Structure formats: C-alpha cells, structure tokens
Amino acid sequence: MNDLTIALRRDTGKHLYEQIYLHMKQEIREGKLLQGERLPSVRFLAEFLQVSRSTVELAYGQLVSEGYIEARPYRGHFVCQAEELFDLGKEENIQEAWRGKEAQGKREFAYDFSPNTIDMSAFPYATWKKITKNILVDANSDIFIPGSPKGDYSLRETIAHYLHNSRGVNCLPEQIIIGAGNDYLLMLLEKILGRHVKIAMENPTYRRAYRIFDSFAYRISPIAMDGSGMSAEGLYESGADVAYVMPSHQYPTGIVMPIGRRLELLKWAGEKQGRYLIEDDYDSEFRFKGKPVPSLQSSDRAGKVIYMGTFSKSIAPAIRMGYMVLPLPLLQVYEENCSFYSNTVSRIDQRILNEFIGKGHFERHLNRMRKIYREKHDLLLNGLKGMEKRFMISGENAGLHILLQDKTGTEERELTKAAADAGVRVYGLSEFCVGEIAPLWKADTVILGYASLGKEQIAEGLRRLWDAWGSLPHRRQ
C-alpha cells in the first residue's frame, strides 16, 4: 500500500468512515491499490488515522459489501480483481448534447383549429377536488395496496352500467380492463391478439393508432372509406384478421357507419375464427343531432367486437384512463396469458372516477360540455355560411371538428399554407391518410376542430381564413 494519507475532515457533514471508504474506493478504481494487495489491518489504520476501530470496520465492511475488497479469515482484507474501468468522460460529452433539448419549442399559431383538443375551462375542478379529498379522508390504506390487474371491480361495474345505458354495450364488469390510456391498452391488446396480425384500418384514419400498430410490426392494410365507412369488399380482399374501425363517428371523416355496413363487418368477423373488430368509440359522447348512435358492440352476438373507450375526450386527457371491453374468447386468452400484467392506473384515481360517475357528476359534466360544444359548433357553422359556395361541409352532426372540401379544386396544401400565413392553423386531410389517399378523399379537404378555442377566437379565425382563402384562385368552376 503506497499511501495511507487520507485527509480526513471533521468539519464536513460526512462521516469519517464514509471519507475513508470513498478514499479507498477511489484508489482502487484509479488502480493505485492493485488487485490482490493487502490492506492495512483495522487496528493499524485506526491508530494511524486516529479514529476508532469501528470507524475503519464500517469503511471496510462497505467496501466488502460492494465487492471492492474481500476479507480472508485470519489474513486480513485484500483488493479484489476488477476489470479495467471504462474510459471516463465519454458518456458525459454526449450527454452535453442532449441537455435542455426538450426546451426547444414549435411554431405557435394564434388560431389553432386542432381537431385533437378539448375545452377544459368548464371542468368541474371543485367537484373533482372535493371527491379527491373525501376519498383520501375516508380511505383506509386499501387504496394504496395493489388492486386487480383489470382495475377495481367497483369502477368496472360503474363503467359497465354507463356503457350499457349510453352506448348499448352488452358486457359484464369481468370483461372490462381499465388502463392508463388507449396507447397502453393497444399494447396490452397486442399481447392478447398475438404478434402476427394483419390489421385493416380505415383510410383516412387516426394516425396515432396507425403508428402504434406499425410499431407492433402488424401488417397494416389501409382500406379506402366510402360514404358508409370501411368498404366490406376491401376488407375481404385485404386478407386481414382484425379491423380497426370508428363506426359511430369516424376520425377524421365524421362518417357514421350505417347498420347495414355494420352487419356486413360483423358477418365478416363471424366467418372465421380469430377475426375481430376493434371498435374505437373515442368521442361518442358528443353528438349534436338526434340520439347517440349505438355502439357496434351492441349489435355483436358472436363475441367479435373489442370495444375501446376513453375519458380523455370527456373528462381530461391528463387523467390517463381508458378501458377496453373484451369479447369472451379474448377474455379467456387474457386470463390465461396476460392477467399477470399489473394494472396501470392509480387506485386513488380509479376511486375518484368511480365516485365522479356514480354520483352523477359525469353526466352533468357531459350535458354541460354538450351545450358548450354545441354553441361553438353552431358558431363555426354559421361563420362558414359565406363559404358554402367554395366548400362542401361534412361531419357536422357530431364530434369536435368538421371537414371542408374545396369545390373549386384548390389543393389542401394551398389552403393550409394560406391559413398559416394568416396565423391560422388548419389541418389537411392527407395528414390522416395512410398509404395512398383514398379516391373519395382527395387532397382538397381541410379539417377544423374547435373544442379548445374561445368563441371570439373562432370568429376571428374564420375571418382570417375567409380573407386568406378568398384571394386564392379558383382552379375549377
């Protein structure tokens, strides 16, 4: 041992044993203490450093338990064999390049007609807080211990009841799996359906779902939409096992799949074992004309529909809660192969939501939001009246966005660019297309969402669009 001098400091907060330990560790890592080298005895080092023996024992004990040195009975402590340390500092330099990377922003628009936002201004924060408080007060510790992998049974009962009443969904609480958002639930579904799935998707469709299926290495068949939704012929031709559809309000086209097409799809699924329909019922709560359209699941008698819903649109995206209703054959697979995955939602949050729905707050909130969205929706449609010559409006009976198809042949990118130059963001339909654009959905359509915009923003945004688009040449009369 070359150098026993350890500059012990009694004025810092650090224990003496820790200083000895850190010093020796450093010496070993830097190769100053060599493999096999014998350390001074506890008694010797204690006297040399003027500390108690137990201080040295603690330091040696820590080095032993971390494997830097070993104790050989009656012989003392020896430095262990250790591979060379890797080149220091390399990782740190690369790290520097990443630092603060997330602070870089994106271009902001004063008027962003995003179809993928919601209005949180009328959220019943006070009610939510009160429920949270009551639950924490009442709670014995059982909401802090792990719950069922599918989610709390009582919440699943509440959701089953809600889905039955509002969407005609026919299911037991046993069939429901609660999860931290639909991205996660799709990951879980991958485990249930297996890795080798050919999936049919409507085109245009919800890009996020597309990216997720793509990340699964599912083979994806985009199927052109006709006016009734996914074409049944297209589905048969695709050779797909599973079809992902949004029958009650297709995103982004807003098409409601009529019962005839629904039954065709159910028939397709029923013809072969292993065929399923994923029904994404993402925004069924918001329909402004007539009764809500029942779910596809409600027409399923053969256990072929996987029903997915979310509270992201109806409550808040940040609460991260969605659910999936498995048909019985897949419930069996889940129970056998996948039920060991822990649930992903906090039990406190599950309890809050259960209370929020069970006590009627959810329904009241939905009614309030329907009214708010309907007002914005009507304002938007009224504001578009002057544009009717140029645009065909569609998807206006439900949901939080509408579509404008340019009848004069102006291309989508001209429309979005002119809008952007006026500080307004609108979304081209091609952003939602996968593969080739379906013939019915030419690149002449833009989407306007309105959920998170205020009434004055909608009015001013439309004024700007009107100015910007009014000066674009008509390509076709």
Which residues between 354 and 393 bind a copy of itself (CB under 8 A)?
A: none
Residues 146, 147, 148, 153, Cα dihedral to 10°: 180
Residue in 58, 159, 308, 384 binding a copy of itself, rule: CB under 8 A? 58
Please report whether residue 18 would count as binding a copy of itself according to CB under 8 A: yes
Residue in 260, 409, 454, 470 binding a copy of itself, rule: CB under 8 A? 260
Q: Residues 101 to 140: which contact a copy of itself by CB under 8 A?
A: 101-102, 120-121, 123, 125, 128-129, 132-133, 136-137, 139
**Whole-number minimum distance, CB 467 to a copy of itself, in Å?**
30
Following DSSP, what letter does each residue of 17-77 receive, concatenated?
HHHHHHHHHHHHHTTSSPTTPBPPPHHHHHHHHT--HHHHHHHHHHHHHTTSEEEETTTEE
Please report whether residue 2 would count as binding a copy of itself according to CB under 8 A: no
**Whole-number minimum distance, CB 293 to a copy of itself, in Å?**
5
Please report whether residue 73 would count as binding a copy of itself according to CB under 8 A: no
**Whole-number minimum distance, CB 187 to a copy of itself, in Å?**
5
Q: Residues 187 to 226: which contact a copy of itself by CB under 8 A?
A: 187, 191, 195, 208, 211-212, 215, 217
Half-sphere exposure of 217 toward its Cβ, with a 13 Å CA cutoff? Answer: 4
CA 385 to mean position of chain CA atoms: 36
Residue 314 to residue 50: CA distance in whole angstroms: 69
Q: Residues 304 to 363: which contact a copy of itself by CB under 8 A?
A: 316-321, 327-328, 331, 337-338, 340-349
Please report whether residue 55 would count as binding a copy of itself according to CB under 8 A: no
Half-sphere exposure of 94 toward its Cβ, with a 13 Å CA cutoff? Answer: 3
Q: Which of 172, 193, 187, 177 lies closest to 323 in space, CA to CA?
A: 177
Residue in 53, 144, 271, 386 binding a copy of itself, rule: CB under 8 A? 144
Choose between 162 and 341: whose C-beta lies nearer to a copy of itself: 341
Choose between 48 and 144: whose C-beta lies nearer to a copy of itself: 144
CA 216 to mean position of chain CA atoms: 15
Strand order in the sheet with 219-226: 176-179, 322-325, 305-310, 276-280, 242-245, 198-203, 219-226, 229-230
**Whole-number minimum distance, CB 235 to a copy of itself, in Å?**
13
Please report whether residue 49 would count as binding a copy of itself according to CB under 8 A: no
